[in-house]
Amino acid sequence: MIAVLGADSPIGLTVIRELGERGLSVLAQGKTGHALGRYSRHVKHFLATSAPIAAWLPQLVAEHGVTAVLAYSEHHLLQLAALKDDLGACPVLAPDADKLALVLDKQQTFDAAARVGISVPASWSPSLGEDFAARAAALAYPVAIKWPDPNGVVAALAAQGIDLEKVEYAKSAAELLAILARYDKVGLWPLVQTWCPGQGLGQMLHMHAGRATLRFQHRRLREWPPSGGVSSFCESVPLDRHAAQMALSEALLREIGWQGPAMVEYRHDPATGTYWLMEINGRFWGSIPLAYHAGAHFAWETYRCRMLGERDVTAPRLKSRRARYVIPDSKHIVAILRDSSLPLGRRLRAAVAFVTDFADPRVRYYVWSWRDPKPFFGDMMGIVRRALRRGS
């Protein structure tokens, strides 16, 4: 019995499917009784709780004879890193606390990237006592504003009634200063990065004993929100492309001593051939359903290397696939159609592509699966429930 924490999203659902399809019994945990993954045919036991995992996981491991624990959210991974010694002989298939802290800190990530020859955006970390106006005036615009370690500031922001923004953009010094001023009462400010042109390229690797045992890569086609967010439509990229950069991604993960799955995320500018590092996702990532449908099974690879001791296997034959997260993708096209600043022709082409993509034989879906259909219908019921609550 393997425990999968976080059955609430397509990420957790994909992990459940990968392991269940190989005959493993899965115990899943979700925040509520309507978690997406609980409807999967591969789930033998389900627990609904949002309590800290130290309050229930040790007992769960003992009661059900859990032989391994997997998770993907940074919230769970940070808790698991502190709990590894409290689960007896049950291994936690998650990164150690120091490695996780390193990849969550973007400045440390950029420092490691520079050591192996990877380009990083010009960055500024505002600090108390600096002349923000002078620094802002000297920057090239637009810039992206993001927290180097979001988990480390969420409590301080919440205490001041400030929502955590994953990423924001400023087109001028005035816009940047207005964003930074929001955090003055906290005394902490996010990282400011020069905007990098190009397309989103994600290189996914599973690292074990200092080398990559599985590789996959994709490019983003659409995001929600369109300004930058989760990948709502993406496609696989053959491994014979960007091969030199893949070697650098592996070198970067080796440099930091990473074990397990990670996505090294870039902005790639085809016009110049430049790859700008954005971040390392040291966990199962949002577009993992695409990797699953293409034949790159990272959850299984994590289990295989850690639990079965198998290191040398034939690389999977990857399929050319596209994957779609339908609800965010629908929000994307609505936002594009409503954006009057875009040329009408571009908006119409986007609408046509959105519709015709449903007929593309390469397209698979984050939630829907003929082999495991119940999560889709459970998700639809959840949408209806939420709509009824909003209308009442």
Task: Using the 3D structure, point to which of 160, 176, 194 is the last residue of a domain.
Answer: 194
202 and 141, same structural domain?
no
Of 371, 307, 7, give the one whose Cα is nearest residue 15: 7
For residues 240 and 122, which has the higher predicted lDDT (pLDDT)?
A: 240
pLDDT of residue 383: 82
381 and 255, same structural domain?
yes
Q: Hey, which bits of the chain come out as E strands?
A: 2-5, 26-30, 43-48, 68-71, 123-124, 143-146, 168-170, 191-194, 199-208, 211-224, 230-236, 260-269, 274-281, 322-324, 363-365
40-49, 148-157, 191-200, range with greatest mean pLDDT: 40-49
Segment 279-327, tens digit of pLDDT: 999 999 999 999 999 999 999 999 999 998 766 667 789 999 999 999 9
pLDDT mean across residues, the chain? 91
298 and 180, same structural domain?
no
pLDDT of residue 4: 96
pLDDT of residue 321: 97
Q: What percentage of the chain has pLDDT greater than the value 90?
A: 67
279 and 208, same structural domain?
yes
Q: Is the pLDDT of residue 141 over 80?
A: yes
Residues 6+ apart with CB under 8 A from 122: 140, 193, 194
Provide the token pair at 189: 């400010």
Q: Is the pLDDT of residue 75 over 80?
A: yes
Q: Is the pLDDT of residue 145 over 70?
A: yes
139 and 31, same structural domain?
no
383 and 237, same structural domain?
yes
Q: How far, CA to CA in Å, does 114 sit from each of 107, 122, 203, 209?
A: 11, 12, 17, 23
66 touches 243 (CB < 8 A):
no
Poorest-confidence range of 78-82, 105-109, 255-259, 388-392?
388-392
Q: Is the pLDDT of residue 380 over 80?
A: yes
Q: Is the pLDDT of residue 241 over 90?
A: yes
pLDDT of residue 181: 93
> With bands split at pLDDT 50, 70 and 90, how would you rate the model's confidence at 146?
confident
H or E stretch covering 75 = helix 74-83
For the entire predicted model, the pTM comes to 0.89
Peptide bond into 150 cis (omega under 30): no
Q: How far, CA to CA in Å, does 1 sit from each of 59, 93, 223?
A: 14, 14, 36
pLDDT of residue 298: 96
Poorest-confidence range of 14-18, 153-157, 300-304, 375-379?
153-157
pLDDT of residue 392: 63
- What is the number of domains present in the chain? 3
349 touches 336 (CB < 8 A):
no
138 and 57, same structural domain?
no
70 and 126, same structural domain?
no
90 and 21, same structural domain?
yes
46 and 144, same structural domain?
no
CATH code at position 22: 3.40.50.720
Q: Is the pLDDT of residue 272 over 80?
A: yes
CATH code at position 216: 3.30.470.20
Q: Is the pLDDT of residue 103 over 80?
A: yes
pLDDT of residue 312: 66
CA distance 216 to 168: 28
203 touches 217 (CB < 8 A):
yes
Q: Is the pLDDT of residue 228 over 80?
A: no
206 and 69, same structural domain?
no
Q: What is the mean pLDDT of residues 152-171?
A: 87
pLDDT of residue 87: 86
Segment 28-45, tens digit of pLDDT: 999 998 899 999 999 999
Q: What is the mean pLDDT of residues 262-288?
A: 93
376 and 329, same structural domain?
yes
Task: Using the 3D structure, point to which of 152, 168, 194 is the last residue of a domain.
Answer: 194
Q: What is the mean pLDDT of residues 197-219?
A: 93
CA distance 388 to 392: 6
Tell me the residue range of the domain where 183 lies.
Answer: 122-194
